[in-house]
Structure 1
């Protein structure tokens, strides 16, 4: 019987261009999700007959260096690589990765249709560049809004806020309410908001969130050339608004990273802020957090022009030079399958599938999943550019200068536009 099943598997794999016993090399970022995926790989190998060498590397420069060295137009050390979504344009424009339209259909695990709604279009956009999709987004990573229910449900605060502002204290629905509530709690000796202000990628994300909420992008493609799309007036308003939020934030607000934000919110003294899904469990741990079990999760408050939730997905991409494209696609489809995504979600990992995030049993255990699914409708991306690292560096520099007061917002915006234009000239020829 086992021999018969083995023969059927070999025959089926051969039909789809996969040689039984094929070994694929997969390069991914190293975190709790990739570690969890690795524990499930034996199931994939047993089901498909495909062997997997699964290499985990720290995100940032370590994985980018591996990818830059190991993936060329003519040869590749890997059959599947994980790209942080802002770096999709760099690999796509150089012809290093395969257009999703050209991915094989799959054998045991089927290709996900872009129009099926299983993965929302705003999530698939993480793999988008120049009108095409270049891979499979694999973790539903985007801003989720958190509000401290201990402060929100306090009867005294509710009464005093209503008397002062004329409407109910609630999860902030828009930027006017957010600022009102931030000021109200600051006047009580507490803090309304916890920012991200380190010179790091998180500050670029904050800038994108604010700029998008005020109705402006940063760069775009017009007639095949990159152009600055940053509207000066909107960008200045965004900086001025964020500067106001900083006034109602904890001490050290001008140099806060993730550890400081987590500590501040978990102390119970911060009313509201965004968080990435992977970091939310820090504030839901009753051993470390005063607000565990008392957090309201929602979409971000609406800005003057839009509601924006910054997305930060990893994208599985197949190198154009891979000799095992069909087997690599099979592995990507397996990872994105409902069964695997559900197993990962049951361990607290962010899913890309709406049918998993909206599972009532999972929401009962991880209440932020519902907010993630809803926030995906408002997902916005960081700028799509082949030299994203340098562009992000410019945005960080002048965003922080404008919001912390080391430059006037007007001067910071003008300098940002000037330096971005200089960068774009290099790529526009």
Structure 2
């Protein structure tokens, strides 16, 4: 169901949408595809929350017991049900993997990829699939931010989605004064015309964190100040749902899927990257401590879980580079230390979960949204994520992932190249 609204595109919105066009340096070398200035981009082919629900329930019915679905919560605004799809039990001895996609509502291709993968796991009798099902427990949250994913229309612009959910800041709910400032990752007005949170900043290493109990921890600092590394507060139902699934599964690996703008591989090779990956989000020497009911809890990143993160990222890089691959331009995601003065992102789900003895992997598919690349490119990027996640599951099933030298991650995967904007239309595409 497409939500329809009519909004006046005020100056701030116009700037946010078109700044990359007006500020772009002249470029003609980077390969595309690029959106043409007069090109109409429809999002109608993307899965919507009701589509995800219908397909999940159909898969479960046809899986003959392989797959179990469960509603783990409801979105804050539209109250869409949020589903987890389970392949395997949490209490077995297999390696356990948790995968979520569309934590940012306008980053949809991960959802498309894992829905394809789940269908294969639910119905295929291929030997590799059977090996995965026998030897790996994998749970999927295929659309965490259903509010943001819900397509709406902007007058004179067209289809749109939002990064944030739909949710007001309610300080009294958490025992705070009514005039207490919102967390820095809350936006008072999104494109949709509603307030909302960046769910991917609403996480804390202490998985039982409750702002109503730990209200002294609330820090309404601005974004520039907070990049130094303050955790979030689990104030969104979506983040709490993810947190609860994480606690239930206690995964060995957590995969978080996103979109990013466009980067070239390097100054020497101006080919556009198709994927950026990353396996570390906090430094090894960081310790986060919190007191809860008189007990002191300390969270840190372990070398063991970091090595597994490196192995998983290296495996995906190697598999997607193999042979005459369409996915040749893969780099690390820009090191957070370059931007934030260190690996200081415990407020992201990847950062918080990695401080709970879990390996992590970030997928950043090219294109800040599908508007950046267009429909023709989407199939390629969906296939890239599908192949990478499938190879990860297979690598755990066969044990291949454990044979990879963790140093490959640092030594062989290229660092991120320069970020670029949409080329100047006058320079060609």
Q: TM-score w.r.t. structure 2 length?
A: 0.25
Structure having the larger proportion of residues in helix:
1
**Which of the pair has the greater relative contact order for Cα pairs under 8 Å at 6+ separation?**
1
Q: TM-score, normalised by structure 1?
A: 0.25
Higher Rg: 1
